[in-house]
Structure 1
Amino acid sequence: MRQLAGKSIALITAIVIGLGSIVPSQVIASDLGKKSDRERGHSVQLGPRPQYLVNDMEEGALKEELQACLDKKPKRTLFSIGHRGAPMQFPEHTRESYEAGYRMGAGILECDVTFTRDKELVCRHAQNDLATTTNILLTDLADTCVKPFTPAVIADDGSLVSPASAECRTSEITLTEFRSLRGKMDAFNPRAQTPEEFVDGTADWRTDLYSGPDSGTLMTHAESIALFRKLGVKMTPELKAPSVEMPFDGFTQEDFARKMIDEYRAAGVPARDVYPQSFNRDDVLYWIDNDPAFGRQAVYLEDAGSPGELPDLAELNEDRASGINIVAPPIFALLALDADNNLVPSEYAENLKESGFGIIAWSLERSGMLADGDNGFYYQTIDEAISREGDVMEVIDTLARDVGVSGIFSDWPATVSFYASCVKPSRNRTHRRR
């Protein structure tokens, strides 16, 4: 890992686990005791998006390399991680979203884990996101919301004075009540005057096509484990920061961290198939100290909002010495621009490699259209060089070959799956010039 790991075949074709050991990423291991994709009759289906992105790329060696793969049979890969499933078009953390991510070749799927009033674990990105990710405001359970729907205040000239708002938590409802809800695309209309208008805010580059009354099936954490085992993929649960004060009715943060792991043990899932995550360093250290089999490949999520907030080399070395083996930063933290506007690894990325960490990047394809030149959080360090949709392939390539990430979270896993099924890691990268 310390010797230019980004240029090695291992970090393109493997996910880093434990103390540097690796698992081949182009095949789902048989250690889950399940059939292969071929035996199931399941094929990886990438759809038209990878071709669209490749065709939109600037001319160059990478485009030629990827074009040559457009008719190649794709493979499932651990390099492709389904971020909340496939939420670019499917309601996140639903059965339909997970199944879509699986079909797109993701070798790892994510359940963000929080808990209900009766302390049952469920898959939600945040404990308090039910107003924007489910239909709760349109049901009788709206009465449980800690902050009921409040309409937007709009001035006489049409300007927005204050946006519409609501806050509804899983910790205010039981598991039975949770199961009665349906997932929807994560969004809200800030100008809403009614709950119906509030839930109708999906971005125009996403879709509500798969958010009907017969879809959006919410999942418990245990149900996600069962589904992922059936599909034969690996699992990366994220222990979400509670919105309630802990302990919650006697339920401590350590209880929460332990219960999440216990549900894998109860299902008979080996630790090597699980990558537990948290933004909370104490959660990761708890797993390392109390359940080292799972802690060995626990993922410490970096929560910096800008480059100036990233830890320095000394801080990274301290984390490494504590037993943390894998760090997952946002994409912007790992990339920078050189004098010719080429994408290159950031200083922080080089420090991660020097400290010996495995690196996972989050999250691709959450920024909408790239050609508008205002791509927000994930591209803040490189936005100057992002001018077309096809540039996302350059981002993946730089993360893979130059930074040396072992996996990429994506809201549309097919894009990463295509890249990982195509690229020959031994081939020298040719930078494009702008």
Structure 2
Amino acid sequence: MRLTTALTALALLPAPLWADAHSTPTPVEYGPRPAYLIDKLPQGALKEKLMTCMGQTPSRTLFSIGHRGAPLMFPEHTVQSNVAAARMGAGVLECDVTFTADHELVCRHAQNDLHTTTDILITDLAEKCTAGFTPATGDAGASAECRTSDLTLAEFQTLTPKMDSADKTATTVEGYQGGVAPFRTQLYTDKADLMTHAESIALFASLGAKFTPELKSASVEMPHNGFSQADYAQKMIDEYKAAGVPASDVWAQSFDLNDVLYWVQNEPEFGKQAVYLVEWSEGFDEQDKATWAQDFSALKAQGVQYLAPSLNMLLTNNDGKLAASAYAKAAKAADLKLIAWTLERSGPLASGGGWYFQSVNDIIKDDSDYLVALDVLAQDAGVEGVFSDWPATVTYYANCMGL
């Protein structure tokens, strides 16, 4: 695995030195995108306020969370993507945690995404994939499925990451490597580095960031060769303990409430900041309590403190303006701390915001609505932090608003 000399050296440091590494954060810079979005805002109080902060000195903030690093322009869950996110002021960085055939923890958004996020299909390891490449034919698109659990850690570490994409019209495996969304870029894909979960801990510490690992659902049946769900959830926490990371610096996440409750009950210090992830599902209405799957009072009674809904659950259309949803207000009223995901994942907003903005698509105008939505999430919904594919935008807003 091609890791920088500095990261390799840091990973070998004894645990007590973690605090020293953590005390020297990387410098922060905004780059051009926040100003570009502010320029697009219509005249009004929000634009005027954000304009006053153009000359401010950027600083790191826990309100800004790197979603898989900075995958708007860098291959997700790579060293380079997370370094970029830290340079944009993300105070918290994410490793989506899954496991290999030998039950080692690695950073991938899903256990079964290697065929779209790495070069595995054009390597000799393709023969180990759960389902090899099938070319497009007729109305059937090209397909493949390659899992981290198909490989040992040593094999995983030989792969080269790429922008998450697949050309479903491809008739060759080489063509299948394409399909990158037009609003993303391949300028920064050369020699990017994959990470194990333990390596992500060392890297994030060296960058001065804190940690939000997400325990991903397994694509294989659990237990997997004797490795149970509880083993999986515990191993993720154990790697923070082994690195000497205090529980107060870790926000462990899962879409499975049972994982969150496992941490609450078995690792109570980590459980205090465990995050229950939820997302829009068919039939959900952000304004209609009868459609909500979550019972906020019951979650609090079980020890859940943090709830992380998708953006579409937290936003609503209030007479043609973006506003905090009834769902968001009810969760806050139940004393749940909210985290929102994921800003700037939708690409250009001129034709609506797609899945992430489906509750408000009819009033989304252009990319300036990223800032309008961010303002609503912060000021009206009262979220604790926002995941973004380009953390500089959230960092700028948080710095300007004193968050």
Aligned length: 383
Matching of residue 360 in structure 1 with residue 339 in structure 2: yes
Q: How far, CA to CA, are the matches of 1:253 and 1:126 in structure 2? A: 16
What TM-score does the superposition give when structure 1 sets the normalisation length?
A: 0.86
Q: How far, CA to CA, are the matches of 2:283 and 2:183 in structure 1? A: 28
Identify the residue that residue 316 of structure 1 maps to in structure 2: 296
Identify the residue that residue 88 of structure 2 maps to in structure 1: 104
Cα pair 1:152 1:193 within 8 Å, conserved: yes
Identify the residue that residue 416 of structure 1 maps to in structure 2: 394
Cα pair 1:53 1:389 within 8 Å, conserved: yes
Matching of residue 146 in structure 1 with residue 130 in structure 2: yes
Matching of residue 248 in structure 1 with residue 224 in structure 2: yes
Identify the residue that residue 281 of structure 1 maps to in structure 2: 257
Q: Which amino acid aligns with 2:91?
A: G
Alignment root-mean-square deviation, CA? 1.6
Q: Which amino acid aligns with 2:19?
A: L
Q: How far, CA to CA, are the matches of 1:313 and 1:91 in structure 2? A: 33
Q: Which amino acid aligns with 2:345?
A: R
Q: How far, CA to CA, are the matches of 2:23 and 2:400 in structure 1? A: 20
Cα pair 1:228 1:234 within 8 Å, conserved: yes
CA displacement 1:149-188 (0-9 Å, x = unmatched): 001113xxxxxx0111000000010101000001111111
Deviation at 1:89, TM superposition (A): 0.5
Q: How does 1:142-221 map to 2 (within 5 A)?
A: 142-154=126-138, 161-212=139-190, 214=191, 216-221=192-197
Matching of residue 76 in structure 1 with residue 60 in structure 2: yes
Percent identity (aligned)? 53
Cα pair 1:307 1:333 within 8 Å, conserved: no
Residue aligned with 1:114, SS: strand
Q: How far, CA to CA, are the matches of 2:334 and 2:18 in structure 1? A: 30
Identify the residue that residue 304 of structure 1 maps to in structure 2: 280
Residue aligned with 2:198, SS: helix
CA displacement 1:368-419 (0-9 Å, x = unmatched): 110123x211000111221111111000000000000000000000000010
Identify the residue that residue 317 of structure 2 maps to in structure 1: 337
Q: How far, CA to CA, are the matches of 1:35 and 1:300 in structure 2? A: 27
Matching of residue 43 in structure 1 with residue 23 in structure 2: no
Which residue of 362, 371, 396 corresponds with 2:350? 371
Identify the residue that residue 202 of structure 2 maps to in structure 1: 226
Identify the residue that residue 27 of structure 1 maps to in structure 2: none
Cα pair 2:313 2:325 within 8 Å, conserved: yes
Deviation at 1:33, TM superposition (A): 3.7
CA displacement 1:185-219 (0-9 Å, x = unmatched): 1111010011111011101100111112x2x2000
Q: How far, CA to CA, are the matches of 1:315 and 1:80 in structure 2? A: 27
Superposition misfits of 4+ residues, deviation over 3 angstroms: 30-37, 309-314
Deviation at 1:32, TM superposition (A): 3.4
Q: How far, CA to CA, are the matches of 1:49 and 1:312 in structure 2? A: 35
Q: How far, CA to CA, are the matches of 2:285 and 2:267 in structure 1? A: 30
Matching of residue 382 in structure 1 with residue 375 in structure 2: no
Matching of residue 397 in structure 1 with residue 383 in structure 2: no
Cα pair 2:284 2:292 within 8 Å, conserved: no
Q: How far, CA to CA, are the matches of 1:61 and 1:127 in structure 2? A: 45
Residue aligned with 1:261, SS: helix
Q: 1:73 to 1:312 in 2, by over 3 A?
A: same
Cα pair 2:340 2:383 within 8 Å, conserved: yes
Q: How far, CA to CA, are the matches of 1:314 and 1:277 in structure 2? A: 16
Deviation at 1:365, TM superposition (A): 0.6
Unmatched runs of 5 consecutive residues or more in structure 1: 1-29, 155-160, 426-434
Matching of residue 57 in structure 1 with residue 41 in structure 2: yes
CA displacement 1:109-155 (0-9 Å, x = unmatched): 0000000001000000000000000010110000011111001113x
Deviation at 1:230, TM superposition (A): 1.2
CA displacement 1:263-283 (0-9 Å, x = unmatched): 000010000000000000000
Cα pair 2:22 2:209 within 8 Å, conserved: no
Q: How far, CA to CA, are the matches of 1:179 and 1:313 in structure 2? A: 39
Cα pair 1:85 1:92 within 8 Å, conserved: yes
Cα pair 2:339 2:383 within 8 Å, conserved: yes
Q: How far, CA to CA, are the matches of 2:100 and 2:294 in structure 1? A: 39
Q: How far, CA to CA, are the matches of 1:197 and 1:314 in structure 2? A: 43
Residue aligned with 1:137, SS: helix
Cα pair 1:152 1:163 within 8 Å, conserved: yes
Deviation at 1:309, TM superposition (A): 6.9
Residue aligned with 2:72, SS: coil
